[in-house]
């Protein structure tokens, strides 16, 4: 059977069980109760109404993630100590309608549990390697296509892993968490466990129980684990809400102009060869190898020293019929677009200016290391590496707010602070994987701080 047909059987089973819930008043009420149970603590923390929180999340495009997570929790729960979950009830009454793989998928979800994972490696479009968060267990490889396109190493991941036809896979409900938020989940669970142990000791002191159970520590562990789904959702939804509503900073470039990604398109009126020669003749333009791509520096590119960090004014791309200038402000587009038009003369036609939406494109100046276009050549890659090496070596000896203004070396020297610096390392490594430039190898930092064994 093809993978596509197998996927269709699973998708059909999921649609059917959702439709079944919608037509069962008792189960629909329980689903509504589950939504309220999940949203209420987060809404109270944020000081808003549950409905308002849900609308904000839906408007931001995350409604499907919320529904998938809550529906899986609802459909696997044993309500009021009943023997059958909602999935059990559905399979008992309607399971005969499902294709074999669809039934096996529902059974697998029913037998699974929500867990917090740590991503140790990602191959976009193929798989993610994960291990239980906070452990040093050997990671397991989980087949996943779409979700891995947006997952990053060292992120936390709330999700269920099931085994279907000898293949490990995620179910449909996945909530990614930055390393710091995943650590927050672990701290909340640890406090819950400590609270359960403290309560048993108080009951003993008050004479309400004769002795502590032999397995009281395991009972406390189980009590904390039972709260994991709610804790995961609460921390994720609060983080997401705050990220959505974070005030966009007023960002300016080195000329004091508002940051506004802008493209200026010039129709080509001459041959590509003539235009390339003209652009190569401009000292401030540095061509990336043999590609028709130029980086526009503040001064002559030939004067740029290896490893030097300098501002980049823009980039030029020569396409089949168009020359494109990319800059980071509308003022630069007008200023440099006009200058370039005069310089190139009859080689190009009248330009067209296009402004991009500024959403996630936040920056002040563009240091040489951040230019993804330098990645196209070996020389460019070396320049980026030299720049980042220098930056991160300095960082190891600088106070870091995330480390309570201690340096990474100071934290690495004290065992009690290892957890903090490890979290910081995972944070910067995870964030770096989101950049368009070539992945940076942070291995030397773990070795330099003597923390490899915790990786």
Strands (E), 251-311: 262-267, 285-287, 293-297
Number of Cβ within 10 Å of residue 35's Cβ equals 17
Q: pLDDT at position 363, please?
A: 32
Half-sphere exposure of 108 (CA within 13 A, CB side): 22
For the chain, the C-alpha Rg in angstroms (whole number) is 28
Q: pLDDT at position 410, please?
A: 87
Q: pLDDT at position 361, please?
A: 37
The 322-327 sheet, strands edge to edge: 285-287, 293-297, 312-318, 322-327, 262-267, 352-355
Q: Where in the chain is the domain with CATH 3.30.160?
A: 262-371
Fold of 262-371: Double Stranded RNA Binding Domain (3.30.160)
- Alpha-carbon separation of residue 119 from 147, 178, 358, 400, 406 (angstroms): 12, 11, 30, 24, 27
Q: pLDDT at position 321, please?
A: 86
The tokens of 319 are what?
């396409």
Alpha carbons 259 and 185: distance in angstroms, whole number: 36
- Confidence (pTM): 0.63
Residues 102/12, Cβ–Cβ less than 8 Å: yes
The secondary structure of residue 247, as a DSSP letter, is P
Q: pLDDT at position 40, please?
A: 92
Q: pLDDT at position 371, please?
A: 37
Residues 310/297, Cβ–Cβ less than 8 Å: yes
- pLDDT mean by block of 10 residues, the chain; 455 residues: 72 90 90 92 91 89 90 92 91 88 92 93 90 90 86 91 91 89 87 80 79 79 84 93 74 72 88 91 84 81 58 83 87 89 90 63 33 47 64 78 82 86 83 63 84 74
In angstroms, the first-to-last Cα distance of the chain is 40
């Amino acid at each position: 059977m093809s993978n596509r047909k197998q996927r269709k059987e699973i998708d059909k089973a999921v649609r059917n069980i959702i439709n079944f819930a919608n037509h069962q008043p008792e189960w629909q009420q329980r689903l509504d109760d589950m939504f309220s149970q999940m949203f209420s603590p987060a809404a109270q923390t944020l000081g808003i109404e549950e409905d308002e929180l849900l609308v904000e999340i839906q408007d931001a495009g995350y409604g499907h993630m919320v529904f998938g997570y809550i529906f899986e929790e609802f459909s696997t729960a044993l309500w009021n100590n009943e023997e059958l979950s909602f999935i059990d009830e559905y399979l008992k009454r309607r399971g005969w309608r499902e294709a074999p793989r669809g039934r096996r998928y529902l059974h697998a979800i029913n037998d699974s549990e929500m867990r917090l994972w740590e991503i140790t490696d990602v191959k976009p479009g193929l798989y993610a390697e994960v291990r239980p968060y906070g452990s040093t267990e050997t990671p397991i490889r989980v087949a996943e296509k779409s979700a891995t396109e947006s997952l990053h190493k060292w992120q936390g991941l709330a999700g269920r892993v099931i085994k279907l036809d000898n293949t490990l896979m995620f179910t449909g409900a996945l909530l990614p968490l930055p390393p710091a938020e995943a650590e927050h989940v672990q701290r909340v669970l640890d406090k819950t466990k400590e609270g359960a142990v403290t309560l048993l000791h108080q009951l003993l002191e008050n004479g309400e129980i004769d002795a502590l159970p032999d397995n009281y520590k395991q009972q406390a562990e189980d009590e904390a684990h039972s709260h994991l789904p709610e804790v995961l959702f609460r921390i994720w939804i609060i983080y997401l809400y705050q990220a959505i509503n974070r005030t966009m900073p007023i960002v300016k470039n080195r000329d004091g102009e508002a940051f506004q990604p802008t493209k200026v398109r010039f129709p080509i009126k001459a041959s590509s060869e003539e235009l390339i020669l003209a652009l190569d003749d401009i000292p401030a333009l540095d061509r990336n190898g043999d590609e028709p791509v130029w980086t526009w520096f503040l001064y002559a590119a030939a004067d740029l020293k290896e490893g030097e960090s300098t501002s980049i004014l823009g980039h030029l791309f020569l396409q089949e019929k168009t020359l494109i200038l990319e800059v980071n402000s509308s003022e630069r587009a007008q200023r440099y677009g006009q200058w370039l038009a005069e310089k190139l003369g009859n080689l190009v036609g009248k330009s067209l200016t296009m402004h991009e939406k500024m959403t996630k494109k936040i920056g002040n100046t563009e240091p040489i290391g951040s230019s993804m276009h330098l990645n196209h050549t070996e020389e460019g890659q070396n320049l980026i590496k030299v720049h980042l090496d220098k930056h991160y070596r300095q960082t190891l000896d600088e106070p870091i707010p995330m480390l309570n203004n201690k340096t990474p070396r100071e934290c690495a020297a004290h065992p009690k602070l290892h957890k903090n610096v490890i979290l910081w390392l995972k944070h910067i490594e995870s964030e770096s994987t989101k950049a368009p430039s070539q992945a940076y190898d942070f291995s030397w930092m773990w070795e330099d701080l003597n923390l490899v064994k915790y990786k």
